[in-house]
Structure formats: structure tokens, C-alpha cells
Amino acid sequence: MTDAIKIDVWSDIACPWCYIGKRNLENGLAAASADDDAPAVEVTFHSFELSPDTPVDFEGDELDFLAKHKGMPREQVQQMLQRVTGVAADAGLEYRFDLLKHTNTVKAHELLHFAKEQGRQHELAERLMAAYFTEGRHLGREDELVDLATDAGLDADAAREALQSGRYLDAVRADQAQATAYGINGVPFFVIDGKYGVSGAQPADAFAQIVRQVWAEHREPAGVEA
């Protein structure tokens, strides 16, 4: 039995390119899954905070935040968001930056680690990103996070306890330390089988090609030179 390809994804739920990258990865894996010799793939999400100093309740909209954070004129930020919205639409995502509530994401990351233990990490990652980028939900608030956790099939009381206890914060910090060790300073970043690094929201076709190539490597008999 050939071992599955392991894809470790560093991302932030508040990163617009991360949601696009997630969807493109899924579409690429779906394309490869139609192959006669379909790759077996395991995807795990890891924590990365783009702006850890962001307050839970940020005063202002996304334009205000990016203009301040990146030191760019609002007009330039507006053009950048329009471009991202267009790329997201190509991936089948309807971004609503006019609704978006910028917030600190550390609690969302803690909840993702709780969901991983429960076998629901993929479902929660999708729910959180959709809520943030398309629904204008406030992901810095405990009640909102618990509601979204239940949408992803998690128990509400257990999710609330996980958030209130802070017991998953060490796991978040460990992910961030690993990102630093790998030299990751931007997301999304994909580490494939612990040896190949792919940066950015690559097209679906690129992900399909990568997993096919790595799967072929998995299928090579041990000791055979390329």
C-alpha cells in the first residue's frame, strides 16, 4: 500500500488568498482523483496569523485596516481588493469586503485545532472562511465561533470550553514556530511530504500536476534511481 501524500497548509482565515488557495487545491485534487491511478492525499491546516496585533473589535472597514497596515492610499487598496474579488470569483467564491469585519484570528485558530482533534478540521476551515469573506460574520467573538463550530458538526458546549480554556493556544504557537523554522513569511504556503514548498494561491491545474508528480514518486520502487 502506497502511503498518502501529506499536504500541510499554513494559512490564516483572514487571508483572502488562503481561501482562494484552499479552493484551488481542492479543485486540483478533485481533478487528480479522476485519474486511473488516483493519488491518495491527506491535507492538514496549520495556524499562521497575518496580523497578530489586530484588536478583536477593529474600528473601521477593510479599506481602513489595509491602508493603515500596508501604508497604502485607500484608492490603491480599493483596486487591490477589486482584483482579489475577481480572482476569488474565478475560483467560485463571492467575496464581500463591504461586509467584512476585521478581527484578531487567534481564537479561530484555537478552534481549528479543537476541530482537528474531532476529525472536523476541513469542515470548520471552510465554514470559518466562508463566514468571514462572504457573510460578514465576526470571527473574533466567542458566540459567533461556537455557532460556526456547530455548523461544522461540532458540539457547541465542547467548542465553547475549548475556546474558554485556551488549551489549544500552545498548538497554535507550535504551528507558528514551525512556519518560522521553514522560513514561511507569507501565506498560503503548502508543504508537500515535508520536502516540497509551494507558495501562494496556485491555479487548480498546478496543484493537480504537483500531486500527480509526487504520487509517481511514491509509486517508484525503493532504491530505484530516477
* CA Rg value for the chain: 18
- The 10s digit of each residue's pLDDT in 87-118 is 999 999 999 999 999 999 999 999 999 999 99
The CATH T-level fold of domain 5-219 is Glutaredoxin (3.40.30)
Task: Give the C-alpha separation, 31 to 65, whole Å.
Answer: 37
pLDDT tens-digit profile of 54-95?
999 998 888 888 888 878 898 999 999 999 999 999 999 999
- Does 1 have pLDDT greater than 80? no
Burial of residue 128 (number of CB atoms within 10 Å: 0-12, 13-18, 19+): buried
| Cα 222 to Cα 226: distance, rounded to the nearest angstrom | 11
pTM of the model: 0.94
- Strands 196-199 and 189-192, sheet pairing: antiparallel
Look at residues 185, 193, 208 and name the one whose alpha carbon lies nearest to residue 7. 193
| Residue 42 pLDDT grade (very low, low, confident, very high; cuts 50, 70, 90) | very high
CA dihedral 111→114→118→122, nearest 10 degrees, is 40
How far, in Å, are 26, 113, 149 from residue 32 at the CA level?
10, 28, 30
